[in-house]
Amino acid sequence: MTSSADKIAGAPISWGVCEVPGWGYQLPPERVLTEMQQVGLAATEFGPDGFLPADPTVMAELLAARHLTAVGGFTPVVLHEPGHDPVPGIDRLLDSYDASHADVLVLSAATGQDGYDTRPELDESGWKTLLGNLDRLTALAAGRGVRAVLHPHVGTMIERGDEVQRVLEGSAISLCLDTGHLLIGGTDPAELTRQAPDRVAHTHFKDVNDQLAAHVRSGRLTYTEAVGRGMYRPLGRGDVDFAAIVSHLRGRGYDGWYVLEQDTILTEEPRGEGPVADVRQSAAYLRELLTAGRRRDGAPPAGGTPPAAAVIKSHSGPPPAQS
């Protein structure tokens, strides 16, 4: 049987590789994948278009040479516009899933704009279209042997807690529990996991400095500015209660991936170790936490700083600035 500690994967964004134009210096896949292997990760998400080879066979060979497999990928897609049908594009994308044996399609409800610093509000027509498309894509993916999940994400159409709740109530899609984006958007990820563990089918584990996140929620900082200031932290060095989250997930028999993410913006080729140092720390923290989760007391693992508060009950204040 595969243990939870064997299902820790990486994401290229932890190395600063991102789909947003102008995000920063982009490291080559050879370095990123080699460093994933060095810290003992079992798999990777695809990363943005062009990061991994488009030919699934070549991609599989590149990953296998580093003892990695493909999890699937983060796919921003416009879901709320009545005149746009997302199904044909996703259907073509799933061809690469078949060939690479990836099994998780991570969708985000894109605004149609570049970046994640502003977003419009959904009207009722937009909500109806979005929820209907989520169910259509869920069924499409399931027919190809792939689990579709929705990733609540800052600067997308699904960001705040009330929006996440409306998706849970109005569609059948499962969630990607991104602990960082949920917290920044005003949702306590530990509480969401406690309330709806059966809807969590995939995870992105990232820790957050909630003081900087509060500046994003209030509009004092843009999302990109906060990332550049180090809003994301190695696991155990921020304000997310991972002990509670893992306990809730394991209590419902969660057997999916734990994908380590620490969104990073690089300005140049790193000197010294670079981003892998934080990934190594996060991987060690999570492995120990998954092992410690078998203990009845649920104490946080040694070697990592416990979260600042056991559970952050609420994050009051206005939502991020809207366009």
d(CA 78, CA 156): 10
Indicate if the pLDDT at residue 112 is higher than 80: yes
Query: How high is the pLDDT of residue 287?
Result: 96
pLDDT score of 317 more than 70: no
Residue 318 has pLDDT above 60, yes or no: no
Q: Given this model, what pLDDT does residue 141 score?
A: 98
pLDDT in tens, 213-254: 999 999 999 999 999 999 999 999 999 999 999 999 999 999
Closest to 80 measured CA to CA, from 135, 128, 119 = 128
Q: Model-level pTM?
A: 0.87
Owner of token pair 């508060």: 309
All residues at 6 or more sequence positions from 302 whose CB lies less than 8 Å from its CB, including other chains:
288
- Is residue 84 scored above 70 in pLDDT? yes
- Per-residue tokens: 262: 């620490």
* Residues 278/41, Cβ–Cβ less than 8 Å: no
Instruction: Tell me how far apart the alpha carbons of residues 179 and 185 are, in angstroms, rounded to a whole number.
Output: 10
- Tokens for 83, please give them: 């005149």
Q: Write the pLDDT tens digit of every residue in 147-169.
A: 999 999 998 999 999 999 999 99
Q: Helix or strand or coil: residue 10?
A: strand
Whether 306 has a pLDDT exceeding 70, the answer reads no
Q: What is the amino acid identity at position 55?
A: D
Which residue(s) pair with 207 in the sheet? 233
Report residue 264: phi and psi, to 5°.
-135, 140
Calpha distance 251→268 (Å, rounded): 43
Output the CA torsion sign for 239, 244, 246, 249. Answer: negative
Quick one: pLDDT at residue 80? Answer: 97
The pLDDT value given to residue 319? 38
| Domains of the chain, each with CATH number or no CATH | 4-292 (3.20.20.150)
User: pLDDT at position 261, please?
Assistant: 95
Average the pLDDT over 196-202 and give the result. Answer: 96
* CA neighbor of 23 nearest in space, from 227, 180, 160: 227
Residue 309: which pLDDT band, with cuts at 50, 70 and 90? very low
Tell me what pLDDT residue 300 has. 45
Q: Per residue in 33-73, pLDDT tens? A: 999 999 999 999 999 999 999 888 899 899 999 999 999 99
